Amino acid sequence: MTKRFLILLFAIVIVACSKDDDQTQQTTPICNPPENITINNITSANAELQWDESSNANSYLIEYGISGFSLGSGETIITSETSIILLGLEGNTTYEVYITTICSSSNESMTSDPISFTTTIANVIAEFLPNLSDLNLYQGNLSNLTPSSKTFEYNLNTPLFTDYAHKQRLIALPEGTTMTYVDDLLPEFPDNTVISKTFFYYNNEQDESQGKTIIETRILIKKNGIWETGNYKWNEAQTDATLDNTTSTTSITYTDQSGAIQNVNYVIPSNNDCATCHGNNTTITPIGPKLRNLKRDNQIQALIDENFISNLTDASEVSALPNWENTSLSLEERARAYFDVNCAHCHSSGGSCEDQSLLRLRYETRFNETNIYESSTAIAYRMSFYQDGLSMPFIGTTMVHDEGYALISDYIDSL
């Protein structure tokens, strides 16, 4: 009797436990990760994420970050919807996204497989925003000065001398526009064109891998047919540059190509100073990117091939401004090219020195109209030393350009 009772009791317990298990399974729903996850409407800063609704879902946990990030370290968003827009992304960057279904506070799905997408390249912003990084002229680490693919980087046959500083030059055009070829001088730029010039020194010119010190980035932006100027000063950490249109002086020490230590008190110009050189008949205009000065290293052909310029199909139609350092050219060609780039923006019709000087130094001006011969003594004297307010160039340098002065001195002696 007792044995039968114990067997019956055991059976009752087994059945009861079985019922409890059934109830547990019924009250804990299966929680699956979402399916058919898609990424749409990808821009340089945003992306729309969509997925199918999961059964028993209460909400969804989205975690995302730059490709390769570790789960738990990314940005997270919780939503009850089946779509969301990810904001504040970096342009030209690959991201990974994971989604977890949350069915209850104690019941979550496995994390979905990662979904990858790459944002588009950000358009260059034609505005004087507080920081240089806001303009999208560069990609990656700003101090690397890696240009955005939305820009065109160029060099000049004969560049402006600025206390031996190196320069990086960029042009950015609005999406879907081009420059228009007119002649060998400046092309016609569309509104919202951005032209930048960044000034820097290599810490050691014998070994550029030792890094560089970036000082300033000068910006020209064309708005409603009028060029506007602005200047960005780089911070000491070299992480960004801030819009600052006041003048200042920065002390620079570097090792030159001969191994000598050089010290420069580099003067960053004010906005008014910019107008001194860039102003012609009170109108601001670019100086450097004349097509004849870009005629090197197949740059004109690259402008054509990359659809940066219209109304020009053959690069040979553009003549080249001589390279002032090319000793295979005549002394006159080299000296006139040097004058054109370093002096003519002021010493020309409409320039800031038009009334103070008879010199007219554009390369295309005929020699007997330049007054170079008549002013040769003054030219040689005022280029031979540096004194603020007296020596030439009047602005933009704080020292004699020894190589440039030697060229001009030889040229004047030949007249």
Are 293 and 345 in the same domain? no
Q: Output the pLDDT for position 28.
A: 77
Are 269 and 345 in the same domain? no
Characterize the bridge pairing of strands 179-180 and 279-280.
Answer: unpaired
Nearest to 231 by CA among 396, 28, 1: 396
Residue where a domain stops, chosen among 305, 321, 337 = 321
* Radius of gyration of the CA atoms of the chain, in A: 33
Q: Count of domains in the chain?
A: 3
User: Max alpha carbon distance in the chain (Å)?
Assistant: 138
Residue 95 in 3-state DSSP?
A: strand
Are 251 and 362 in the same domain? no
Q: Output the pLDDT for position 282.
A: 85
Q: How far apart are the first and last CA of the chain?
A: 137
Q: Evaluate whether residue 13 is within a structural domain.
A: no
- Cα dihedral 353, 357, 361, 362 sign: positive
Are 139 and 54 in the same domain? no
d(CA 62, CA 83): 10
Nearest to 230 by CA among 240, 219, 221: 219
d(CA 186, CA 179): 10
> Which residues form the domain of 243?
122-321
Q: Evaluate whether residue 299 is within a structural domain.
A: yes
Neighbours of 233 (CB within 10 A): 19
Write down the residue that tokens 């009791």 correspond to. Answer: 9
Tell me how far CA of residue 127 lies from CA of 14, 87, 132, 161, in angstroms.
77, 21, 10, 28
Are 209 and 311 in the same domain? yes
Residue where a domain stops, chosen among 321, 350, 384 = 321
Are 90 and 132 in the same domain? no
Per-residue pLDDT of the chain (415 residues; tens, 9 = 90+): 333 333 223 333 333 444 444 444 456 789 999 999 999 999 999 999 999 999 899 999 999 999 999 999 999 999 999 999 999 998 889 999 999 999 999 999 999 999 999 999 999 999 999 999 999 999 989 999 999 999 999 999 999 999 999 999 999 999 999 999 999 999 999 999 999 999 999 999 999 999 999 999 999 999 999 999 999 999 999 999 999 999 999 999 999 999 999 999 999 999 888 988 998 998 999 999 999 999 999 999 999 999 999 999 999 999 999 999 999 999 999 999 999 999 999 999 999 998 899 999 999 999 999 999 999 999 999 999 999 889 998 889 999 999 999 999 999 999 9
Phi–psi pair at 65, nearest 5 degrees: -175, 175
Are 269 and 131 in the same domain? yes
Q: Output the pLDDT for position 99.
A: 97
Phi–psi pair at 173, nearest 5 degrees: -105, 150
Task: Tell me if 365 sits within 8 A of 376, measured CB to CB.
Answer: no
Q: Output the pLDDT for position 2.
A: 38
Q: Evaluate whether residue 27 is within a structural domain.
A: no
Q: Output the pLDDT for position 26.
A: 56
Nearest to 215 by CA among 178, 175, 164, 256: 164
Residue where a domain stops, chosen among 274, 306, 321 = 321
Q: Output the pLDDT for position 162.
A: 97
Nearest to 339 by CA among 413, 409, 412, 408: 408
Helices (H) and strands (E) counted in the chain, each on its own, are 8, 20
